[in-house]
């Protein structure tokens, strides 16, 4: 029984000293607003994106990159500068027949970022993501196989119909 009494006294002294120490620290703290109002514990989101138009540029085409808020290069690197509610995305082609895997991953990552951080509704029923008519192989037969590969990727991931 003596051990239980001793343990109880140690725990009681620890609780008392911690309470006294916290009170002393609060007393020593400079005066000012403490716990003033509730701060919401939610992540800050960027400006909402309403729609995305995807354009495809052939390998070697001279394209004014400054006109596009997002450019995805064949090596998978990406230049992404959110500017407003409508985003023009450029996918730059390469010499291969298929869209490079790194580039495909980057395109999907950009859409994930737009969905998570900019409230873009990526469901195909929302109709927020579309291929530019000049970059859609369903409308233009003279586009390279990579453009078709991009369209297939977007349809497979259900960003477009």
pLDDT at 72 over 90: yes
Average pLDDT value for residue range 132-144: 90
pLDDT at 46 over 70: no
pLDDT score recorded for residue 45: 56
The two structure tokens encoding residue 54: 């995807």
Residue 57 CA to residue 147 CA, distance in Å, equals: 9
Residue 127: phi and psi, rounded to 5, are 65, 25
| C-alpha dihedral sign at 60, 64, 67, 69 | positive
Please state the separation of Cα 42 from the chain's center in Å: 15
pLDDT at 15 over 80: yes
If you search the block for the tokens 């596009």, which residue do you land on?
68
Q: Quick: pLDDT tens for 83-102.
A: 778 999 999 999 888 999 99
Q: Which residue has the higher pLDDT, 123 or 107?
A: 107
pLDDT score recorded for residue 39: 43
Residue ranges with strand state E in 12-156: 51-57, 70-72, 78-80, 86-92, 129-131
pLDDT at 43 over 70: no
Residue 66 CA to residue 59 CA, distance in Å, equals: 18
Q: What one-character-per-residue DSSP string does 103-128 give?
A: HHHHHHHHHHHHHHHH-----GGGT-
Residue 63 CA to residue 33 CA, distance in Å, equals: 54
**Whole-number percent of the chain with pLDDT over 70:** 89
Residue 161 CA to residue 154 CA, distance in Å, equals: 8
pLDDT at 38 over 50: no
pLDDT score recorded for residue 85: 85
**Whole-number percent of the chain with pLDDT over 90:** 39
The two structure tokens encoding residue 96: 């291969």
């Amino acid at each position: 029984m003596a051990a239980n009494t001793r343990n109880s006294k140690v725990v009681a002294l620890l609780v008392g000293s911690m309470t006294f120490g916290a009170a002393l620290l609060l007393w020593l703290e400079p005066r000012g607003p403490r716990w003033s109002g509730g701060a919401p514990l939610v992540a800050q989101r960027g400006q909402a994106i309403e729609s995305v138009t995807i354009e495809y540029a052939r390998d070697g085409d001279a394209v004014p990159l400054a006109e596009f808020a997002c450019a995805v290069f064949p090596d998978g690197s990406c230049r992404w500068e959110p500017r407003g509610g409508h985003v023009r995305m450029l996918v730059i082609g390469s010499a291969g027949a298929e869209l490079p895997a790194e580039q495909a991953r980057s395109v999907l990552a950009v859409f994930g970022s737009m969905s998570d951080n900019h409230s873009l509704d990526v469901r195909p029923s929302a109709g927020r993501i579309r291929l530019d008519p000049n970059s859609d192989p369903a409308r233009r037969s003279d586009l390279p196989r990579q453009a078709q590969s991009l369209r297939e990727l977007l349809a497979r991931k259900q960003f477009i119909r």
